[in-house]
Chain A
Amino acid sequence: MSPDALLSARGLRLSFGRIDALDGVDAEVFPGEVLAVVGESGSGKTTLLHALSGAMCPDAGAVSYRGPDGAVQDVHRMPAPALRALHRSDWGTVHQDPRQSLRMAVSAGGNVGERLMAQGARHYGDIRAAAIDWLREVEIAADRVDDLPRTFSGGMLQRLQIARTLVTQPRLVFMDEPTGGLDVSVQARLLDLIRGLVARLGVAVVLVTHDIAVARLLARRIVVMRAGRVVETGLTDQVLDDPQHPYTQLLVSSVLHA
């Protein structure tokens, strides 16, 4: 693990039957950076995200996380309660489908406040005020704080999920296709929001996306995956403007320009 890395994966291997979803993957994430992981469906990018966040245990290899106290922990050997605590505090996850992490029967404010309460916040007024602040931060009007998420549009749900994730000021956020399935205008607003918040809060993000325009907009470093392997990695603009690997060249040349 590099001395200043936040998260480091070495030699990750994971097979589903005869399919090598991860075939010897190394990756590092540094504080405050957005690292994009791109590739087509089935390239292993989502599996990599799951292995990094501890949701899936690799057959071989290790993931190390450096906590705020500087101590390095092996993510897959950590006791389950410690990993859950990490996910409630230092880490956050933004799923493509916000319904996966939101509680649809709880108000918007409750969804945001819940993560604070899980961290030990108990003062109702403070929690509500923080929730309203965060709704405003993601451009949801304060008067929607008591509404149920099911009354929200897809773009609003995604923004609510981001508020819920960022309210605890995590150091590392895992995002899986955060703008997938949204209209382009909604997508642009969300991208801008993520870009601004990430820069201002200095949070590190591992961003999985099949959309290289999204990767270019949000990430300074990029990993290109194919068939469970990293085929190319480096500066986002260099990898996309001067791709070396045949697969990256194919990926870049296949993008339609409006």
Chain B
Amino acid sequence: MSAGDLVLRTEGLGKSFTLHLQGGVRIPVLDGVALALRAGECVVLSGPSGAGKSTLLRTIYGNYRAESGSILLRHRGAWLDLATAGPRTVLEVRRDTLGYVSQFLRVVPRVSALCIVAEALTARGVGTEEARAGARAMLLQLHVPERLHALPPATFSGGEQQRVNLARGFLGRHPILLLDEPTASLDAANRAVVVGLVRAAKARGVAVLGIVHDADTRDAIADRLFPVTPLQDAA
């Protein structure tokens, strides 16, 4: 994949939530979203809180089910529509092509920070030793001290957990990376590390789509902004 090639494109993407327990209220969030993302660029979603930025990111990842439209993505050299792909295809895309750093780390009891991060590589068949070495280096780069590596992150601070999450996200080396508020709970030094990681990823040709509220970080990584407007306002 060379820089500038289109890697992700949504067409007419729509999403609403129907709350059956609240009398079937339907809440429309996305309608007709047409977004294009190219290799080596970073696009940041902009718009007020509640506009649907996270919903858009989660729908692209398949965490939310797309209601209408398509999510076309380059996977192993071919285009694929994630909106209609079966669960096993989505899992394969997540393993090899589409990475996602959520706002919060979902901690698993008893699993160490190092294992959580290394799993990004072992899931793709990389040997345990190599994966652990990569995980260790990535954690150190994100200033997670070695004494924490063997511990499960349940007792870590919010910022430490988020750095474990980021280490896992960046170690996977997916060609497309989705970032949901990656720097929200980080201090300035760690925000700078994240900026460095995003820039290095872009230089490798990774396409990055993110939500970043911190203006300095956004300005440092974004090539352009993609506005997401609340549907109520647009109507």
Contacts and interface: CB of A to CB of B under 8 A. Distances in A.
Interface stretch (A100-108, A127-135, A240-248): A240-248
B87 A235 contact: yes
Contacts of A195: 108, 111
Interface string B7-44: 00000000001111100000000000000000000000
A33 B65 CA distance: 21
Given A189-B110, A192-B110, A192-B111, A238 B20 contact: no
Given A192-B108, A220-B87, A220-B91, A238 B63 contact: yes
B58 A249 contact: no
Given A250-B21, A253-B21, A235 B110 contact: no
Contact of B108 (A30, A217, A253): A217
B110 A249 contact: no
Interface string B51-87: 0000000100011110000000000000000000001
A245 B87 CA distance: 17
A242 B29 CA distance: 13
A188 B109 contact: yes
B88 interface: yes
A251 B108 CA distance: 21
A226 interface: no
Given A220-B87, A220-B91, A238 B21 contact: no
Contacts, number: 49
B177 interface: no
A191 interface: yes
B63 A241 contact: yes
A242 B19 contact: no
B63 A246 contact: no
Contacts of B164: none
B90 A246 contact: no
A188 B65 CA distance: 30
Contacts of B20: 245-246, 249-250
Nearest to B90: A235
A80 B228 CA distance: 61
B58 A241 contact: yes
A192 B64 contact: no
A137 to B, nearest CB: 15
B21 A191 contact: no
Among all A-B residue pairs, the 7 with the closest Cβ atoms: A246-B20, A188-B109, A242-B64, A192-B110, A235-B87, A249-B20, A234-B87
20 contacts: A30-B88, A33-B88, A189-B110, A192-B108, A195-B108, A195-B111, A217-B108, A220-B87, A235-B90, A238-B64, A238-B65, A241-B58, A241-B63, A242-B63, A242-B64, A242-B65, A244-B18, A244-B65, A246-B20, A250-B20
Interface of B: 17-21, 58, 62-65, 87-88, 90-91, 108-111
Given A188-B109, A192-B111, A241-B63, 12 more contacts: A33-B88, A217-B108, A235-B87, A235-B90, A238-B62, A238-B63, A238-B64, A238-B65, A242-B17, A244-B18, A246-B20, A249-B21
